Structures are given as C-alpha cells and as structure tokens.
Structure 1
Amino acid sequence: MSEGTAPGTRPRVAAAIVPAFDQMTVTVRPGSDVVARMPGVLLVTRPAETEEGDRALRVVLDLLATSAQGGIRAPGYRLGRALRTLIEHGAAPADLALVAATDDGLAVVLAGAGAIAVSERGWRLACVSGRVQVREIDWPPAPLLLDLARPAAESGQGTPEPRPARPFDLREGVVPGNGAILASPPSPTATPELGAGLQPSAPRETVDMLLASPTPPSRCDQILGVDPLGGPRPALPLPVTGQDCAESGSGTRVRGYRCRDAHLNDPRALFCAICGIRMAESTGVFVEGPRPPLGLLVFDNGASFSLDDNYLLGREPDIDERVRTGRLRPLVLFDTSGVISRRHAEIRLEDWDVLLVDCGSANGTLVAERGATVWSALVPGQPVRMLPSMQVRIGERSFVFESLHGAP
C-alpha cells in the first residue's frame, strides 16, 4: 500500500445529504476486463477464459443481480460475506474488485489482483499475500478507482493509456473495460461538524442531532447493530488465519450477572443494559456467556461502529501484523490534514471495559470526559478506560464513545 492520505468520509445522517450509490457517476476506462454495475454495487473482474471461469462469473453476476431484491439500497454487508465465501470455495473469479453501498459508507471486497485507489489522495488498497480483503470504508471525497493489477509485460510500460473520446456514465449493466471510476459524492453543506471546532463541554446535543432520523433506533439497537430499516446488522468477516475463532473478539466470553430475562450484564451494573430492569443481586453468582457489544463509536461525520471487537485506528492500519492475522480489526481514518499516523490508536476490549491506547502516534491522541472544558493528551502505550460520552480527537477527526450504561 503506498504512502498518502486516505480519502474522506461520507455522512450517514439526514437523507437529503446522504448520496445514493446509484446516483453516483461511474466512468468505465477502455479495456477488455469486465465491469458490472447493478443496484448498490460496482464490480471489476477478469473475463472468463474457460467454461469453469464462465460459470464462476455468472454466479457472481447472479449474486449481484439478486442482492438488491426487496428494495435494499445498501447490500454491502450481505454481499461482502457471500462473495468472500464464494471466493474461498473457488466458486468466484480469482481476480476482482467490488464496492457496494452500506448504511454509512462502502463495503469493499478485493481478491487476487483487485485493488481500489483514490489517486488524488495518493491512497491505494490491494490484497496482501493474495488474501481476500473485506473492508468497510467511508465515502471518499475524490473519485474512487477500481482496477486489476497487470504484469509489466501486459501493462504497456511507457505507452499512454487510450482515453475514450467522450467518457460515459454506466448506469446499469455489464460492459468491457479496464477498470471503473466511481465519482465522489458532493460535499454536504448542512452537515453539523464535530471536527476542529468541537467543544468538549457540549457533545451530546450535537451527537443527537447527527443521529436524528424519521424513525431513530434506540441507543441499545445502535450498539447491538440493529438496522432501523431491517434486521440485525451482521458483523464484518474478519481475516482470521490459523487462529481459533474463540480467540477473536466476537467469540470472547466474559463473566457477569444475568437479569431475569437472561441478558448478560457487567457485574458493576445496577440495571440491565438491555431491558432496564433492576439486576437481581440476591443470587451473587457469576455466569459465563458471550460478551455483547460494549458500546458505539459515533464519528464526526455521523458514521458509527459497534464495539464488538478490538480495533486499530489510523491512516493505514492494514500494515500492522495484528490486522493481517485477524487479531485487530482495521478502522481507516480519512484525514486531509496529514497528521493522522498510519497506526495511530488502538481500542482494546478487556472483560467489560473499553480501553483506548495511543500507539506512539506523531501528533498524539486527545480525550475529554463528559463535562470537561479542555482536552487531555494520552501517554503513548498507556491504556485509558473509556467512559460513557467520552470524546476522542485524532488529528482533525473526532468521535464520541457511547455506552449502554451511559445511554439516557
């Protein structure tokens, strides 16, 4: 992955400023690969050269065609899981690059020579050691290129790439081409900003405004991943290799008290975080069970991430070995200021606590507890327990930690 500042972000809030994936222009570069655009998804892959390859390509195209059935505008989560399974079983083309709409950005699937890039920001994401990449990113502020890397002998070194006399917009269908360029959404002008001007003394009103919608989900539903327009949002697949699933974040088991409705809770909680009833303290017996998500990260652009696993935040977290082996989940922070480090900060889940650790970043990590009037800098390498409504600032980006136990 090359050096550079990653692309920007896409807000998740009011429909008037959330760009619809299908309204974005897609320009196809001339070539002989396969470019497919269907509702909510864009794909670049190799043409089939054998009957087996033709079957694999048709399977993927059929999957794309059926992904938007039922009026689903954001099929990215489902497509990411399904396509990864097909690739791992050899039932999909070996080389492909796909982006699909999600509720708060884009889902990316890369296999073989597949890659995505934002040339204006010097940012590129490709497969590492041939492993399938499944990622979730924000909308970039500049055009996003999907292409397939080619050997030097095929790339025509020194030969300028032919350009169409008149670029066209692929609205839907399957055409030949050497990559595709997805236009960036227009910059929202009415989006409340929590970035450089964020004041620690008044975070809650701004966050509530960002999360406002005609039918807002409860804070509990947001943290547990329930889509207000559909069923539960599945966790992103992790690139776990040679590791027991029980060791990954989603399989962690903890001890705590259960309420009378069998919800597992932090033993320090006085009320159930799910149903709100008072905890039965008379038993005094710990039970063990799968750890539920411990909170929600609400970013300055309205995007949110459920804390069901350990995260590495930064400009290029994929370079870290812990991300490559599946021990940490990458969370790319897109920042035009260039002050965010490639590996900036880690969010670590330990038992029922959420810990924030600065990874020795060049410009530091700032935090502010609820009601604070000034920012405090973290000591690199020293974990700090995150409290409900704590704000975190990394470069020009900021987010708020929301916890079930701190929800109104």
Structure 2
Amino acid sequence: MKERQVEVVAGNHVVARVAGAVVLVAHRGGGEPTPDSSAAVAVESLAELVRDAVERQPEGPGAFIARQATRWLMKHAEQISPGVPIDFGILSSAEHGGMAIFLHGAVTVVLEDAGRTEFFRGGDAAFTVDRVASIPSRAVALFIDGGDGRIPELPAGRGIGWLVEGIAQAAGAIVWSDGARSSDPGRAGASVSREQAPLPTARIDPEPRAAQQRPEPPEPAPHVTATQAATSMLDSVAEQPDPHHALTQLGGTNPAPRPDPDLQRRLEATAKATALTVKVLGFKCARAHPSDPRSAFCTVCGMPVDQTQQLIEVVRPPLGMLVLDDGMTYMLAADAVIGRDPEHSDAVQRGLIPLKVDDSSGGMSRAHAEVHLVNWDVTVIDRGSTNGTRTRLPGYRDWVRLTPNQPMILVQGTEVMIGNRVLRYEPAAPPPFGG
C-alpha cells in the first residue's frame, strides 16, 4: 500500500492518505467541506487511529484497524456528528498480504481485475464490512455512494492528482496496482477539471513522481480473488460471475462457492431488518445511547449510566463482537450461524446471518453453532455438531463442552472453540469510558 499510487477523484467528500492507508469519509453538509466540518474532523480522528495501528502492526495493520474502527464507531462517531451517521471506508495492508477493506454506511469498494469487477458495499451490510481481498491486477477504488444508489465505476478520465500524504477534498480514491496507470488505453478520455481544490492539508502531485513510475507489466494471467469473512456477516456478490474463478478464503483449504444472488438479497434484507428494529427495555446514557439496564456503564460509549432512571423501550445496539484467533472481527448485530459452510443451512433459511470460518482440522461442521441475541444477552448454541462446541470462561484453564441445543450466555472474555478455531466475545466499548 505504501508504494502504490493513489489517485484522487474530484468531489465534495474528504479523503486522507496516512501511513500508506487510505481513509474516505462522506461530507453530507451543503457546499464544500471545511476543516471544521464533521467529515474533516472524522477523517483526522480516523487517520490518527490508522497511524497508531500501523505503528503497532507495521507488517499488516488491517485486522487491528478494523477492531479499532469498530470501537471508534461505537464511542466517537456520535460525538463528532450527533444524530447523523458517518459513512466511511478504510483501505490498508493485510497481515498476510492482500488489502484489508473496512466499510461503514454508503461507501463502496470496486476491485477491477483482468476482465472481472467485484464490489463490496457498506450499505448492504448489517453494520460494517471487514474483508481481506487479494490485490487485483488493475486497481482498487473507494467511493462514497451517490444519492441514487448507483454502484460506482472507475472514471474514464483522470482524477485531480496523486495523493502523496495528508487530507484532500475528493469523491473517492483509486489505488493503482503495480504497472497500472491512469493513462492506460482503457481509461482514455477528457481530463477531470481541477477546479475542485483540495483541503489545504494535503500534498498532491499532478503527475506521479519519477520514482513511482514503473514499466507496464506483461498481460496478467487470470487469477483467483481471495477473500476472508466479513464483520458484516454478509458475502459480496461479484459482477459478471465467471464459473472458472472460485472464491476461497485466505489460509483456508476448502473452496467457498459463490453465494446465490437470491439468497444474498434475502440475507441482506434480514440483516437490515433485524439490526434496525429489535426493541428492548433499557436505559439511555447522558449521550442518549441505548444501554443494558444491568450495566453501570453505557453499552455503546462506556460512559456511566444513571441506574435510577425509568426503563424505556430502546432500539438495541450491537452487543459487542466476536474476535477470531486471526484478528478478524464479527459485530453482533443480529442472530448468526457459524461454520465452515453455513450459507445454505437451515439456520440461514430461518433468517440467521452466516459467519463462514475456515478450518483445516476437519472438526468443524458446515453449520456448527448458532449465536442468538436475547434481550441484552449473547448466547451460543451447539446445533448437534459432530465434534461439539467448547467454551472457556475468562480466568479458567479448562474447556467445557456444551450440551447440544442448550444455550449458554456468554460473558465478556468467554472463548468459544469450534473445530480448531477460537473466537472470543468482547464488548464493543469496554468500560470505563470506552477503554
């Protein structure tokens, strides 16, 4: 990521390049963004988050960025933009190669390969998209969605320049792969006007620096796009499916079939409906966040909660996250089924969201266990898997095998083992004050 050319596309949103990563935040106010607008403040905050993550995980900060960005959403977004959701996306390096993608809201990533285009859309997710994809032969583009819901495409003409570092005004950004150039024959066209001046904190080169220019590589051979499980708990559907290209997860041994489009639409509709309409009795903190009435701290931001107030009906927020042993995170916004191939299981037909986990041990069932959100509790249920589901409470050494079809309530820090993979239940904003 650090050595790749990042091209800015003219527009009224805010983009930043920091420590090799790209951050894009939607500007929803009228006119152009200013340094005091919520989009500019948000991008500076996220840039600091990315910078810290790169310092801690220099070889591949993607998974750490996703975890910190999820907590940022629960803790800081409301303070920066009260009552108005912040739509943003982050592109960064993944730990074992490839590109880490994190999306929230109306933002889309376009991966353009040789004869094939794939999309990841934040707007289709229950909460966030957290993926790792192999770097395509041409480019990866990050755009804020238009008001008409149109899927963005790579522009025919040039952007306003090459973003070297800092913050700029833009509609999006294109990360070009080695050898891919904005002047290649496939992008011939009129230049985009430079009237849209960037915010004054960016360094933009109108042309790539000489050290960045590389010779055109030979025509790349078709290759497989590799992807990992999503925090959104939804798989993306590639445009123009090619039966000769199979989607597989990085580090896995079992090929994952392409999701059925009709099934995908049902899953997306179920995720959105479940995440947005579940109402429970609870409290509200001083920042008006809905919170578990049994907790002295806000479930969303970690601030103290007045427990003498009257119970009211609130829309339940996500109840934390499951953190896989490789650092991938799954936001708990809706009931889910976990396994090595859960997409076509009976649980999905009942409305659960599939969480696909790679496992090379052979000990994980296709639909191994289910996670249900009951009021303010997160429960795990083994659905009669061949090798069972085991849990370990925080501070204990021994694993306990669950009784099939009997739910167990998870407490913070509980570990769950399915096959040879381990997930840990963590809050989204650990108290006090969000950690």
1:131 correspondence with 2:157: no
Aligned length: 245
Using structure 1 for the length normalisation, give the TM-score.
0.50
Instruction: Choose which of 346, 353, 360 in structure 2 pairs with 1:329.
Output: 353
Q: 1:19 aligns with which of 88, 91, 97?
A: 97
The answer to whether 1:309 aligns with 2:359 is no
Per the alignment, residue 40 of structure 1 pairs with: 140
Change (3 A) 1:366 1:320: same
For 1:131, the aligned partner's letter is: D
Are positions 1:358 and 2:382 aligned together? yes
- Identify the residue that residue 84 of structure 1 maps to in structure 2: none
Is the 1:296–1:304 Cα contact (8 Å) retained in structure 2? Answer: yes
SS in 2 for 1:239: helix
Runs of 5+ in structure 1 lacking a partner?
A: 1-9, 29-33, 42-57, 74-96, 135-236
C-alpha offsets along residues 296-343 of structure 1, whole Å, 9 cap, x if unaligned? 111110111111111100011012134246x11111110111110001
1:259 matched to 2:310: no
Alignment CA distance shift 1:371-1:406 (3 Å) = farther
Q: Cα deviations across residues 115-159 of structure 1 (Å, max 9, x unaligned)? A: 53449945241343x52648xxxxxxxxxxxxxxxxxxxxxxxxx
Identity, % of aligned pairs?
27
Q: Is 1:291 the counterpart of 2:316 in the alignment?
A: yes
Distance 1:405 1:369, change over 3 A: farther
Note closer, same or farther for the CA distance 1:352–1:63 as it changes in structure 2 (3 Å cut). Answer: farther
The CA distance in 2 between the partners of 1:269 and 1:364, in whole Å, is 32
1:239 corresponds to which residue? 268
Alignment counterpart, residue 398 of structure 1, candidates 422, 426, 430: 422
Contact 2:323 2:330 in 1 (8 A): yes
Structure of greater relative contact order (alpha carbons < 8 Å, 6+ residues apart): 1
Q: Report if aligned partners of 1:298, 1:399 keep a CA contact under 8 Å in 2.
A: yes
Q: Which amino acid aligns with 1:309?
A: A
Q: Which amino acid aligns with 1:280?
A: D
Q: Distance in 2 between matches of 1:110 and 1:261?
A: 40
Query: CA shift at 1:35, angstroms?
Result: 3.0
CA distance in 1 between partners of 2:171 and 2:235 (Å): 15
Contact 2:302-2:430 at 8 Å conserved across structures: no
Distance 2:151 2:289 in 1: 41
Partner of 1:206: none
**Aligned letter for 1:264?**
P
Contact 1:253 1:289 in 2 (8 A): yes
Post-superposition shift, 1:112? 7.9
Specify whether residues 125 and 273 from structure 1 end up closer, same or farther in structure 2 by C-alpha distance, changes over 3 A only. same
Separation in 1, partners of 2:313, 2:287: 15
The answer as to whether partners of 1:297 and 1:306 remain within 8 angstroms in 2 is: yes
Taking the aligned partners of 2:254 and 2:285, their CA distance within structure 1 comes to 51
Write out aligned runs for 1:115-264 (5 A). 116-118=246-248, 121-128=253-260, 131=262, 133=264, 238-240=267-269, 246=273, 248-264=274-290
Query: Which runs of no fewer than 5 residues in structure 2 stay unpaired?
Result: 1-60, 66-92, 101-111, 118-135, 142-149, 160-169, 177-223
Query: In the TM superposition, what is the alpha-carbon distance from 1:288 to its structure 2 partner?
Result: 1.3
Give the direction of change, closer, same or farther, for the CA distance of 1:16–1:312 in structure 2 (3 Å limit). closer
Shift of 1:403: 1.8
